[in-house]
Structure 1
Amino acid sequence: MRITKHPEERKQEILETALGLFEEKGIQKTSMNDIAETMGVAKGLIYYYFRSKEELVEAVVESFSEGVEKEIKMLLSTEGLSFHRRLGQVVKVFFLSIQEHPALMSITPKNPGLFELVKTSLSELALRHAKVLLQKGVEEGYLNLQYPEYMLKILIHGIADLYVEGVVDPKVHCTLIEEALGLSTGTLLKEF
């Protein structure tokens, strides 16, 4: 008997399987056929939802970003967290998400655009949510920034560039964020 799944459920299953295989084999070495075989379905089903591997990779990145955003929104809406704790937790979510999915952060000569896609997606996400958090920090007197939005852009893009250069230690990034925002040393690292 043939099992029919709801289209959104099937699409999510494809995305999760693809991400798992990307992590296991690498994006370049994972084919649409590998995904279909792992799921036990015909390759045509994968192509029904995604016209190409590139489209599937973009959807995996989008799904990844949506998951990170969901965690960030939950943190930002949690009652009772201090400004410093909330900021530290947000930074932690970004770093753990990146560390847990190294295949999405890999740069390969055949596909340098993948890293740029992930970097842009996460940077936009960080700008959107951290902007609100920094503005609140200024309003509540935790931060003394004349231009919080510009400082945020410098921090996010600078951290992303450092990551590309191989600086992946969260301690370094947390220290730089603390120094740039005028926070006490170790404020953000408490969350790691």
Structure 2
Amino acid sequence: MRITKEYDERKNEILNAAEKLFDGKGYEKCTINDILKEVGIAKGTFYYYFKSKEEVVDAIVSRYKEVVVSRAEKILKNDNINPEEKLMHVFMAMRIKEEVNSDILDDMHKTENALLHQKALNQIVTAMAPILVKVIEEGIEKKVWSCRYPLQYMQIFLAASLTLTDEGIFELDADSQMKVLAALISTLEKMLDVPEDSFMKLFMQNLG
């Protein structure tokens, strides 16, 4: 048990140092030697935990993903809310700025950190789509909505919404942001074959 704890502590120490360096220097400019100096470890120690700098990025992104997945799974198990509310709450669970280093999240948007951003998008879509499918299937079972391609529609919706609402990719004014949000909600309504504006009020309540 003690060995496992020490392993996890040292691994997190390396990840924390890497996050700090990626924030300050950018992913591309940061080297493994920079991480070694920041943590105060030998190269052999680093390679005991990680095979490459890219593997460090994967681990950092996984920490973000775990925050989102943990929150979403709690919502999924909540039997006190209906499928519509559950769906909205799961989408809102992806807002992780309060739980993780906001500087790192902002840094993902820099051109030199495109890989970090791409990996984050990939991991979130891959992890969250199956969770959303369970909500969709619950709604289908309760005859709240219908959906012909639950997994594929959720993958499309996640990829579109995470990209189009990302201020680091698209610089939109407030009016344009609201129009994109309205279009995304309309798209979701069509995917689930529910009446127009069924989700808008619920979305706005959750955004507050």
TM interval, short-chain normalised: 0.7 to 0.9
Contact 1:138/1:144 (CA < 8 Å) preserved in 2? yes
Question: What amino acid does structure 2 have at the position aligned with 1:140?
Answer: K
Q: What is aligned with 1:145?
A: 147
Q: What is aligned with 2:12?
A: 12
Contact 1:75/1:89 (CA < 8 Å) preserved in 2? yes
CA RMSD of aligned residues (A): 3.2
Return closer, same or farther for 1:91/1:123 CA change in 2, 3 Å cut-off: same
Q: TM-score, normalised by structure 1?
A: 0.76
Contact 2:121/2:159 (CA < 8 Å) preserved in 1? no
Identity %: 25
Contact 1:65/1:122 (CA < 8 Å) preserved in 2? yes
Distance 1:35 1:154 in 2: 37
Q: TM-score, normalised by structure 2?
A: 0.71
Return closer, same or farther for 1:80/1:152 CA change in 2, 3 Å cut-off: same
Return closer, same or farther for 1:184/1:90 CA change in 2, 3 Å cut-off: closer
Question: Which is worse superposed, 92-101 or 50-59?
Answer: 92-101
Distance 2:180 2:91 in 1: 9
Distance 1:94 1:121 in 2: 12
Contact 1:119/1:160 (CA < 8 Å) preserved in 2? yes
Contact 1:84/1:188 (CA < 8 Å) preserved in 2? no
Contact 1:85/1:188 (CA < 8 Å) preserved in 2? no
Q: What is aligned with 1:116?
A: 118
Distance 2:132 2:121 in 1: 16
Aligned residue for 1:6, secondary structure, equals helix
Question: What amino acid does structure 1 have at the position aligned with 2:127?
Answer: L
Q: What is aligned with 1:154?
A: 156
Q: What is aligned with 2:105?
A: 102
